[in-house]
Amino acid sequence: MKRLLSLLCAVVLITGGAATARAAEPEPILDVVTLKDGSTIYGEVVEMAGGTLVLKTPVSPDQTVKVNWEHVRSLAVNHPIPFHLKEGTVLIGTATAGPDGMILIQSEPLKGSLTVPVTAISAVNPLVQAPVIYAGSLTGGFSQTTGNSHLRNASLLGDFVARSEQLRLSINGRYVYSDNANTLVARNARGTIKLDFFITKRFYWFASAYFESDRFQDLKMRTALGTGPGVQIIDRGDFTGIFKDLSFYTEAGVSYFNEDFRLAEDKSSFRGRVSMKLNWPLLDDRITLYHYDEFYPSLENASNYYFTMDNGVRFRIWEGFVSGLQVTTRYNSKPAAGTSDTDNMYLLTLGYSFDTTRKR
C-alpha cells in the first residue's frame, strides 16, 4: 500500500511539473511592421518582392496580409532572413526599428548592427526561382474488350512548358486511336508549338504552329502558322487564397491556314488567330482546372472559321502521379463534303505531371 501511494505521488509531481514547464514556455515573438500612418501590423514577415510586403498572420481570412512597401516606416524581424539592398549587398540577419524611416539589421558576420534606410531595400527573403522553370504532363488511357465485342481504344496526351524571364516555350500533343474488330473507327493526331517573347512583364509577342490530322474528317494535315501580340492578364502570385496559382492569358494575331484533304479539294487562306488559356491549381495542386482554345476566323469570309477547345480537370493521386478527364471540341464551319462540322472527344487518362516552380 505504501508503495502504491508513493507511486501515485510521483506521478502527480511529474505531471504537475510538466504542466508548469508548458505554462512557462514563452509565447513566440511576432514581427512588427510600422506604417507611415502610425498603425502597426503584427505577424511573421514572409517576403517583400516587387514592392509588396507579405506577412503571415492569423487575423486575416487567408492568413496573409499584403502591404505596399512604400507605406512602411520601420520593421522589426525576430528571425534571420536575407535583406537585399538596391546596391547589390545581401545581409542575412534580424532587424529592429531604427530612427524614422530606418532599420537596424543585426547580421552575424558584421558583429553588430547596420543602419539601413527602408528605401534602400529592394527585397526581403525573396523566393529565388531557377533561371528556367519547367512544367508538363504525360498521360494516357487504354481500354479493350474481347468475346462478343472486339473494341480497342487508346489515347496519349502530353504538354510541356519552359519559362524564363523573357521566353516561354509551349508544346502540346494528342493522339487518339480506336478500332472495332480491327476496323478503324477513330484516329486523330494534333500537335502545337508556341514561343512567347515577353517585351514587358505582361505583354509578349508570340509565334505559333498548329498541326492536325484526322482520318474521319478526310484530313491529311491541317496547318496553321500564326503570330501576334498576347497579354498575360493573370499570373501566379497575383492573388492570394484559392486564386494564388491562377494564370490566364489571351492573344490575337494573324495566321496562314492550310488544309490538305484525302478526297476533297485542298484549301488555304489567311486567317485571324484568337486564343485563351486558363490554368487553375487548387488545394495545393491536388486539383487543377484548365481551359485552352484556338479560334481561326477567315479574313475573307466571316462565316468560314475553325475552332478547337480543351476543357479538363486533373487530380493528383500521389506525388507526381495524376488522373484526368478532358473534353475536346472541334468545330469547322466549312467541313469537307460528307463529314460533320463538330467532333467531341471525352478522354479519361492516367499519367505523370511535374512542375519545377519553387513554392514556400
100, 124, 148 — which closes off a domain? 124
- Tell whether 9 is covered by a domain: no
**Inter-residue contact 105 to 114 (CB < 8 Å):** yes
Q: How many domains does the chain have?
A: 2
3 state SS of 19: helix
89, 124, 159 — which closes off a domain? 124
Q: Which of 147, 140, 74, 82 is nearest to 109 (CA)?
A: 82
Cell of 141: 488511357
102 and 160 inside one domain = no
CA 260 to chain centre: 36
**Inter-residue contact 273 to 295 (CB < 8 Å):** yes
**DSSP 8-state code for residue 341:** S
40 and 141 inside one domain = no
Burial 163-202 (b: 16+ CB within 10 A, else e): beeeebebebbbbbbbeeeeeeebebbbebebbbebeeee
Which residue has better confidence, 63 or 340? Answer: 340
Half-sphere exposure of 222 (CA within 13 A, CB side): 22
pLDDT for residue 194 is more than 70: yes
Q: Which of 297, 211, 223, 230 is nearest to 256 (CA)?
A: 223
- Tell whether 18 is covered by a domain: no
Round to whole Å and give the CA distance between 296 and 332.
10
120 and 251 inside one domain = no
165 and 291 inside one domain = yes
144 and 114 inside one domain = no
262 and 178 inside one domain = yes
- Tell whether 360 is covered by a domain: no
* Its pTM surpasses 0.85: no
Question: For 55-80, what is each residue's pLDDT tens digit?
Answer: 988 776 567 888 999 999 999 999 99
Question: For 98-156, what is each residue's pLDDT tens digit?
Answer: 888 899 999 877 677 889 999 999 999 998 889 999 999 999 999 999 998 899 999 99
CA 268 to chain centre: 36
Domain with 109, as residue range(s), is 31-124
- Tell whether 231 is covered by a domain: yes
260 and 140 inside one domain = yes
What is the C-alpha radius of gyration for the chain, rounded to an integer number of angstroms?
29
120 and 259 inside one domain = no
- A 10 A CB-CB count for 41 gives 19
State the DSSP string of 267-335.
Answer: EEEEEEEEEEEEEEEETTTTEEEEEEEEEEEBSS-TT-EEEEEEEEEEEEEETTEEEEEEEEEEEESSP
Cell of 301: 469570309
Strands 121-124 and 112-117: unpaired
Round to whole Å and give the CA distance between 333 and 85.
58
Give the pLDDT confidence score for residue 140 in this predicted structure: 97
92 and 240 inside one domain = no
- Tell whether 23 is covered by a domain: no
pLDDT for residue 200 is more than 80: yes
Element (H, E) at 59: none
118 and 141 inside one domain = no
Question: For 263-314, what is each residue's pLDDT tens digit?
Answer: 999 999 999 999 999 999 999 899 999 999 999 999 999 899 999 999 999 9
Q: Where are the strands (E) in 52-132, listed by range?
A: 52-56, 64-68, 72-85, 90-97, 102-107, 112-117, 121-124
- Tell whether 10 is covered by a domain: no
Residues 6 or more apart whose CB falls under 8 angstroms from that of 16 comprise none
195 and 295 inside one domain = yes
124, 142, 171 — which closes off a domain? 124
- CATH number of the domain enclosing 36: 2.30.30
- Tell whether 6 is covered by a domain: no
* Residue found by looking up cell 504525360 in the block: 138
- Tell whether 179 is covered by a domain: yes
120 and 226 inside one domain = no
- CATH number of the domain enclosing 282: 2.40.160.40
